[in-house]
């Protein structure tokens, strides 16, 4: 009897000690913050960039999330994921990040609801109309899957869930959840930035129109003030003279040349050159060959000829040469063509070797974790030895590439043959080169004669440490436009597959971010989250095996534990 009392007291003491230890650990944890993430790619851990950003907040950021209400399961999961991500950020920011979830449909009457909807739309949020099935049939529910971020006297909208064509709600929500950290960090960058840097698209040489670069411009405008201007030989187009100081100050931080088709004058080249010499960044997207798909609408065969832009010398001086050739690649986009007898034609997809798909690889932030990029009628680039300038190839073709020298035959009939990528194979042709360093002026010791008498030139021979990116394709920045010219498709949209498939937009935004020193933002955007899909064939073959394990194994473990407990107790009390 006494022995049993001692055993009983021992159990109570152990229990009390366990509780005391738990309370002590809980108390100590209030002084030491530590989170554990056991996933391979640390998907539940904020990046150092995000942690530094939220820790450095000097005022309260207030976030209104409009994902409250009775939603379908996928939207409930999105709402919960947003809350968890904000809690992660609050763990480092403390009270500097505050949020609330609001149901915009909670207003007591129809007019109040419509007023609320109208206000949210006016502030930049888009709504989705969900079709919800219930016992009474199908009802429609208006959802605003977005947020408003307020900081000091500024406010920016954040469209958390963006509709994508031909993608299910579940897939869209999965992608959105994986991208939540970047979306909130991006919004925090925007709302904190008091003055945006300025970026200009150059015009006047047959460049892509505003509608053809609309998607790129809209995304750029989230970070920068975006403008379009023609140089027209005006010395002050990109920079201005500082009176009495003998120097010039750039009006823009970066300029973009998107598929020029007409010759540049020496004056315009000089203006760009001096923009670079004064620290301006340039994104060159240049075609070396003149070729357009419209040429194949009336005939199956046409010729691609060299495009004379008068830019060879300035690019060569900076460190690259765009070759006058066309690249064919086995890794290419499809083209939709009509086949079959007349009157009974049907659309089929064929490999379009003139449209190489580039697989971004490497450690440079511009290409890190960017989806494949679609190009068309692209050329190769050679690097040139230039003192003080480093060259980094960031985009290449695949291991199966052919080079067509100028003039090059372009024919739709290529889809019916298998081009030889054996004996004539020239793999991994460079098509995108990053240049970094101190550039020397292309006009050193040779100012254009028309400028000899110009005042306030303030010519500069060398640049400070600077960057530029040269891509041998203008179509890389081109989004599709409707036949009436009023609508545009997302950059990277594949008309054959009817969905956005390619990473052109992300690549170009990364490029401008990098050129302008916003590489930290790229690190968050390019974060990789692996989607580990099950092998459908294995699942089908081993279905009953895994069902038996999932159902039977837990039961077996419990039974074995019970038997072991019974044996242990029998031995203990039989003594």
Question: Does the pTM of the predicted model rise above 0.85?
Answer: no
CB 226 within 8 A of CB 199: yes
CB 340 within 8 A of CB 379: no
Over 80: is that where the pLDDT of 42 sits?
A: no
**Cis peptide leading into 407, omega within 30 of 0?**
yes
Q: Which CA distances in Å does 352 have to 282, 292, 399, 409, 414? A: 30, 14, 17, 14, 8
Instruction: Tell me which of 333 and 43 has the higher pLDDT.
Output: 333
- The alpha helices in 210-351, defined as continuous H runs, are 214-220, 266-277, 312-318
Over 60: is that where the pLDDT of 446 sits?
A: yes
Over 50: is that where the pLDDT of 545 sits?
A: yes
Over 50: is that where the pLDDT of 531 sits?
A: no
Q: What is the pLDDT of residues 298-313, one digit of tens each?
A: 777 889 999 999 999 9
From the number of C-beta atoms within 10 Å of its C-beta (0-12, 13-18, 19+), residue 67 rates as buried
Over 80: is that where the pLDDT of 185 sits?
A: yes
Please give the angle made by the CA atoms of 475, 481 and 483, to the nearest 5 degrees.
Answer: 130
| Mean pLDDT of all residues in 326-339 | 90
Q: Indicate the pLDDT class of residue 480, thresholds 50, 70 and 90.
A: very high
**Tally of residues, the chain:** 575
- Between strands 325-329 and 332-339, the pairing is unpaired
Q: Indicate the pLDDT class of residue 4, thresholds 50, 70 and 90.
A: low
> Which pLDDT score is estimated for 378?
97
> Which pLDDT score is estimated for 194?
79
Q: What is the pLDDT of residues 275-286, one digit of tens each?
A: 999 999 999 999
Rounded-to-integer distance, Cα 10 and Cα 19, Å: 14
Q: Which CA distances in Å does 52 have to 185, 196, 524? A: 11, 21, 12
Q: Indicate the pLDDT class of residue 32, thresholds 50, 70 and 90.
A: low
Domain 48-189 classification at class level: alpha beta
Q: Indicate the pLDDT class of residue 467, thresholds 50, 70 and 90.
A: very high
Q: What are the structural domain ranges in the chain?
A: 1-32, 48-189, 197-295+307-324+378-396+429-525, 537-575
| Mean pLDDT of all residues in 392-403 | 95
> Which pLDDT score is estimated for 263?
97
Which of helix, strand or coil describes residue 490? coil
């Amino acid at each position: 009897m006494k022995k049993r009392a001692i055993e009983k007291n021992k159990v109570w003491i152990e229990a009390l000690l366990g509780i005391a230890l738990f309370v002590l650990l809980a108390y100590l944890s209030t002084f030491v913050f530590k989170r554990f993430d056991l996933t391979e790619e640390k998907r539940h851990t904020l990046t150092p960039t995000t942690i530094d950003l939220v820790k450095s907040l000097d005022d309260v950021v207030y976030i209104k999330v409009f994902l409250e209400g009775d939603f379908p399961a996928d939207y409930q999961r999105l709402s919960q994921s947003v809350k968890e991500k904000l809690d992660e950020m609050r763990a480092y920011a403390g009270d500097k990040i505050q949020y609330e979830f609001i149901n915009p449909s909670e207003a007591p009457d129809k007019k109040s609801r419509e007023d609320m909807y109208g206000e949210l739309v006016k502030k930049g949020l888009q709504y989705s109309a969900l079709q919800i099935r219930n016992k009474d049939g199908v009802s429609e529910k208006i959802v605003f899957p977005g947020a408003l971020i307020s900081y000091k006297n500024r406010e920016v909208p954040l469209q958390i869930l963006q509709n994508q064509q031909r993608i299910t709600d579940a897939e869209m929500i999965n992608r959105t959840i994986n991208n939540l950290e970047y979306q909130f960090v991006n919004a925090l960058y925007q709302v904190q930035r008091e003055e945006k840097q300025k970026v200009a698209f150059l015009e006047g040489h047959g460049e892509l129109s505003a509608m053809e670069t609309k998607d790129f411009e809209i995304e750029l405008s989230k970070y920068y003030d975006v403008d379009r201007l023609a140089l027209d030989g005006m010395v002050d187009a990109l920079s201005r003279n500082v009176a009495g100081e003998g120097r010039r100050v750039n009006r823009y931080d970066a300029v973009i040349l998107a598929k020029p088709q007409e010759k540049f004058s020496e004056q315009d080249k000089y203006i760009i050159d001096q923009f670079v010499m004064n620290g301006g960044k340039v994104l060159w997207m240049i075609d070396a060959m003149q070729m357009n798909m419209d040429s194949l609408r009336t005939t199956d065969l046409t010729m691609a000829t060299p495009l004379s832009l008068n830019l060879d010398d300035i690019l060569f001086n900076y460190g690259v040469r765009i070759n006058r050739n066309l690249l064919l690649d086995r890794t290419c986009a499809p083209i939709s063509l009509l086949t079959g007898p007349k009157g009974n034609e049907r659309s089929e997809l064929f490999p379009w070797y003139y449209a190489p798909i580039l697989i971004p690889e490497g450690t440079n932030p511009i290409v890190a974790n960017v989806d494949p990029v679609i190009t068309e009628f692209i050329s190769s680039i050679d690097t040139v030895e230039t003192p003080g300038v480093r060259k980094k190839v960031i985009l290449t073709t695949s291991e199966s590439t052919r080079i067509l020298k100028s003039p090059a035959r372009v024919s739709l009939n290529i889809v019916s043959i298998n081009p030889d990528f054996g004996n004539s194979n020239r793999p991994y042709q460079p098509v995108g080169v990053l240049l970094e360093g101190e550039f020397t002026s292309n006009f050193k010791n040779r100012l254009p004669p028309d400028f000899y008498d110009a005042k306030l030139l303030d010519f500069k021979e060398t640049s400070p440490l600077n960057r530029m990116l040269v891509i041998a394709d203008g179509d890389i920045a081109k989004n599709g436009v409707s036949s009436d010219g009023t609508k545009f498709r997302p950059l990277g949209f594949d008309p054959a597959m009817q969905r956005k498939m390619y990473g052109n937009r992300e690549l170009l935004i990364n490029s401008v971010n990098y050129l302008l020193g916003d590489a930290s933002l790229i690190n968050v955007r390019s974060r990789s989250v692996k989607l580990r899909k099950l092998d459908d064939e294995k699942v089908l073959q081993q279905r009953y095996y895994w069902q038996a394990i999932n159902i039977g194994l837990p039961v077996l473990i419990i039974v074995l534990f019970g038997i072991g407990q019974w044996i242990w107790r029998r031995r203990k009390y039989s003594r």
